[in-house]
């Protein structure tokens, strides 16, 4: 499981002109699922996102979690995180989990964050989404869940 997380002042996702998810300050999580991913990766990654201390404390040091600052998380599915661009000019997506595998794990990740007490908004799985965000920092991390 792979996530690109960006610290944002605000973010929203729309599908066909309809806002499906919107947050103020927090994390925008672009989430990719690999074919071998399981609930183990879901739980590890949800805990990491909920508790990663990358928000500024009163001294301006990255020392607080999204929960500490009262933030939220916007989760957007993104199979292209597993795109392989090494050969040719067209990316290969064979390293991404098929939708029947990826969707339940995406939903489990959202549920796991909620169970940790994090407010969560989402995009729509497998939809053509438009994502708007205002980066804060910018602060961006790429996190791969251990196998």
CATH code assigned at 34:
3.50.80.10
- Residue 100 maps to a domain: yes
- Residue 146 maps to a domain: no
The tally of domains found in the chain comes to: 1
Exposed, middle or buried by CB within 10 Å (0-12, 13-18, 19+), for 80? exposed
- Residue 144 maps to a domain: no
- Residue 64 maps to a domain: yes
pLDDT one digit per residue (tens) for the chain, 147 residues: 999 999 999 999 999 999 999 999 999 999 999 999 999 999 999 999 999 999 999 999 999 999 999 999 999 999 999 999 999 999 999 999 999 999 999 999 999 999 999 999 999 999 999 999 999 999 999 999 998
- Told to judge if 78 belongs to the known catalytic residues of this protein, a careful annotator would answer yes
- Told to judge if 41 belongs to the known catalytic residues of this protein, a careful annotator would answer no
> How many beta carbons lie within 10 A of that of residue 119, not counting itself?
16
Question: H/E element holding 10?
Answer: strand 2-15
Which of 6, 20, 41, 78 does the annotation list as catalytic?
Answer: 78
Angle between helices 39-51 and 99-115 (to 10 degrees): 40
- Residue 22 maps to a domain: yes
Range of the domain at 25: 2-139
- Told to judge if 14 belongs to the known catalytic residues of this protein, a careful annotator would answer no
- Residue 147 maps to a domain: no
Tokens at residue 124, please? 């729509």
């Amino acid at each position: 499981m792979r996530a690109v997380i960006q610290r944002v002042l605000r973010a929203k996702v729309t599908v066909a002109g309809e806002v499906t998810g919107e947050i103020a300050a927090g994390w925008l999580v672009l989430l990719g699922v690999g074919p071998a991913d399981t609930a183990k990766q879901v739980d590890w990654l949800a805990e990491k996102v909920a508790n990663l201390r990358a928000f500024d404390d009163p001294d301006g040091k990255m020392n607080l979690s999204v929960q500490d600052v009262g933030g939220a998380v916007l989760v957007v599915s993104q199979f292209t995180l597993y795109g392989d661009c090494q050969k040719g000019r067209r990316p290969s997506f064979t390293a991404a989990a098929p939708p029947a595998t990826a969707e339940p794990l995406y939903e489990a990740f959202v549920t796991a964050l909620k169970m940790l007490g994090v407010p969560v908004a989402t995009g729509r799985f497998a939809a053509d989404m438009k994502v708007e965000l205002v980066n804060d920092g910018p602060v961006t991390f790429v996190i791969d869940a251990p196998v």
